[in-house]
Amino acid sequence: MLDKLRNYTQIYNLWMNKGSTKETAIELTLQQLDALEEITGDDDSWERLLEIAGRGRRHDAWLASDWPSGFDELVLCVPLCKLVDWDCASCTIGSRQENNSCSHDYSVFGYIGELVIAGSRAELISQIENARKMLRDERFVWNIHKCELETRGS
């Protein structure tokens, strides 16, 4: 089941081969979130994810290119990062979380990593849905201080 989550090279090459567009970046990020949700929902895969995440972060804080040896939430959104050449303020997600990087612990994707490390399975499923909502509807913003999804102007 872990192989459903594509590694950095796989997801990047797929995005490049599909035209390197914003729409494709969003589509592939949604697919990565779907894969993570499947992993989270399967008892054996969940336990394996916890082992990988716990082991890897002790040695290397940035593991987006290491999957499946290590887990970093940025592996979920590689196409979005590459689309804007790592300029978070230009990203559809970064611009709606106070221009913070998704590597920030309390960003919409960073919080996914925090929940994996904490072993908070139910909260992780909810956070995956929050990320999906942001990808599908630009009216949503992420409050990095409260770790909550909001609508613009709220």
Query: Domain range holding 105?
Result: 2-151
**Residue-wise over 91-106: b if at least 16 C-beta within 10 A, else e?**
bbbbbbbeebbbbbee
What distance in Å separates the CA atoms of residue 89 and residue 59, rounded to the nearest whole number?
Answer: 29
CB atoms within 10 A of CB 1: 14
Helix (H, G, I), strand (E, B) or coil at 149: strand
**Residue-wise over 40-68: b if at least 16 C-beta within 10 A, else e?**
beeeebbeebbebbeebbeeeeebbbbbe
Question: How confident is residue 14, by pLDDT bands cut at 50, 70 and 90?
Answer: very high
CB atoms within 10 A of CB 107: 25
CB atoms within 10 A of CB 15: 22
The owner of tokens 């949503």 is 140
**How many domains does the structure of the chain reveal?**
1
Quick one: pLDDT at residue 55?
Answer: 77
What distance in Å separates the CA atoms of residue 136 and residue 125, rounded to the nearest whole number?
Answer: 17
Element (H, E) at 141: strand 140-143
Question: How confident is residue 154, by pLDDT bands cut at 50, 70 and 90?
Answer: low
pTM of the model: 0.93
Share of the chain above pLDDT 70, in %: 92
In tens, the pLDDT along 66-107 reads 788 888 899 999 999 999 999 999 999 999 999 999 989 999
In tens, the pLDDT along 117-138 reads 999 999 999 999 999 999 999 9
- Asked whether residue 19 carries a pLDDT value surpassing 60, the answer given is yes
Can you state the percent helix, strand and coil of the chain, rounding each to 5?
Answer: 60, 5, 35
- Asked whether residue 113 carries a pLDDT value surpassing 60, the answer given is yes
Mean per-residue pLDDT of the chain: 92
